[in-house]
Amino acid sequence: MLSHHEIGTLLTLANGEMRVQTLDPNMRALQTRRLIEAQDRAPGLIIVRLTDSGRALLQRLQVES
């Protein structure tokens, strides 16, 4: 089961990728569940985006992405 913080993160990512310096615990949990992917682009820059599974979950929740 996802926490409300994890769902909030997924909803934020529904509009596109996010640039962060570090992954917070919610993002790490979503990455473990393969709902998001994170790519290191440069020191202190991580690009986070939904995976196909993450988009499918939001579609099941009827959230447009």
CB burial readout 30-64, b (16+ within 10 A) else e = bbeeebbbbeeeeeeebebebbeebbebbeeeeee
Q: pLDDT, tens digit, for every residue of 3-61?
A: 999 999 999 999 999 999 999 999 999 999 999 999 999 999 999 999 999 999 999 98
Its domain, for residue 15, covers 4-60
- Which uninterrupted H or E stretch holds 17? none
- Whether residue 42 lies inside any domain: the answer is yes
pTM above threshold 0.95: no
User: What's the CATH number where 9 sits?
Assistant: 1.10.10.10
Residue 37 placed within a domain:
yes
Q: What is the rounded distance in angstroms from the CA atom of residue 61 to the CA atom of residue 65?
A: 11
Please provide residue 11's backbone torsions phi and psi, each rounded to the nearest 5 degrees.
-65, -40
Looking at the domain assignment, is residue 65 inside a domain?
A: no
Helix axis angle, 4-13 relative to 25-32, nearest 10°? 80
* Total domains in the fold of the chain: 1
